[in-house]
Amino acid sequence: MKRYVLTALIPGALALPAHAQSSVTLYGLLDVGISYAVGSQKAVVNGRPVGGGNQLAMTDGAFGLSGSRWGIRGTEELAAGLRAIFTLESGFTLNNGAFAQGGSEFGRQAFVGIESGAGRLTLGRQYDPHLDIVAPFSAAWQFGGYAATHPGDVDNLLSTRRLNNSIKYTMPKIGGLSAEALYSVGGAAGSNARNSAWSLGAAYDGGAMRLGTAYLSVRNPNVAFYGANPNGGGVAANNLGSLGSATTPESNPLYAGYASANAFDLFGAGASVTWQAATAALIYTNVRYTGLGDVATSGPNPLGYSGTAAINTIELNARYQFAPALLAGVMASLTRSAPVGGHDGAWYRQFGFGASYALSKRTTIYTTAVYQRASGIDSTGNAAVASISGLTPSATHAQTAVRADIAHRF
């Protein structure tokens, strides 16, 4: 991706030591496409979704391979091998020009820090180690886009959610080994744990074989994780999703009933093997909403849940580089929501395809297709419906979506 680098001229620069160099890089990505979904619901009546028919829409690439964004990245060389760094990155929806990430001006990333041979320390709004280390093994990152994430992006593999008030350390790579650690300060008076989060991750890059694993734990996730955007509500609001109503469809029915969880714990692991132009990857994630029923500091509990809700997903994907400009891949995943609240839980089976063709080093066209089938009882206490990420859930147990995009980097 070509960058346009601007040299920052500081008053009195002639008086600075010769090694004190500063630079600022302006960069961005524009991505928009047309999507078609079959059987989207329009409301929930007496616990049963009502179909609204097929849906044709133009949406930003956030629902494809890459959300539109622009950013500024800067560095300044300091003494003793230190370097000051910063990144401000703003997401927006290209089809209507609105801010993404719930209206955040710099909702994708906003941090400042120091780096040296001993590693990198940054503070601000950042990605957690699970996203940095495990997510790249997923089909969603490689070729499938947002629709290929697991239902509702339950394991946050495509950065639906970020962490505010975070302190992050990234160690320098030693051989093929790397690691990250993060702590998000809760900021609640009288309780250092409330609204806080921590995460650890490690990876190994052996060339043909890559491995990665990470753990993320968030206290009061309805507020600190799902509600960490300007449009997020507090304890009284359900930021995880919606149970639907007679006038509105559901949103994230896989886990929308768990807003009262006192903690959100996520473990993930991935592995990939590359042979010539082919790469195959396996990924596993375990999500746990623990301490359900915490209406005082977490969120509403309309279904009266208690205890723990666990969601496990396993995914297998493969991609092939047919030519320098042409990439294609396929994926299959199985998501299991364990029983909670007296029901048997739900199953989600998903299959996806993606292909991209680079018209140049900066401009790419691509297409994706996903099919999902659901069964059992979901977190709303109703029969599970298919819920492809980024789309209005289906009125039935099955859903299909196809998409075509154009993306341009600068």
| Segment 235-274, tens digit of pLDDT | 999 999 999 999 999 999 999 999 999 999 999 999 999 9
Check residue 204 and give its pLDDT. 97
Q: What is the largest CA-CA distance in the chain?
A: 74
For position 107, what pLDDT does the model report?
94
Closest by CA to 309, choosing from 231, 409, 381, 366, is: 381
Q: Are strands 209-219 and 48-51 parallel, antiparallel or unpaired?
A: unpaired
CA 194 → CA 161, 214, 226, distances in Å? 18, 22, 14
Tell me the domain boundaries of the chain: 31-64+128-409
Classify residue 101 by its DSSP letter.
Answer: G
Residues 160 and 226: beta-carbon distance below 8 Å: no
Write out pLDDT tens, residues 293-324. 999 999 999 999 999 999 999 999 999 999 99
Per the confidence metrics, is the pTM higher than 0.85?
yes
Closest CA to 261 of 312, 216, 226, 209: 226
Task: Give percent above pLDDT 90 in the chain.
Answer: 86
Give pLDDT, residue 53. 83
Phi and psi, residue 113, nearest 5°: -175, -165
Task: Give dist(CA 101, CA 87) in Å, integer.
Answer: 16
What CATH architecture applies to the domain 31-64+128-409? Beta Barrel (2.40)
Tokens standing for residue 355: 């292909």
Judged against a pLDDT cut of 50, whether residue 370 lies above it is answered with: yes
Give CA separation, 180 vs 57, 86, 155, 163, in Å.
39, 18, 18, 15
Helix (H) or strand (E) holding 183: strand 177-184
Residue with tokens 């364990």: 338
Cβ-based neighbour number of residue 342 at 10 Å:
8
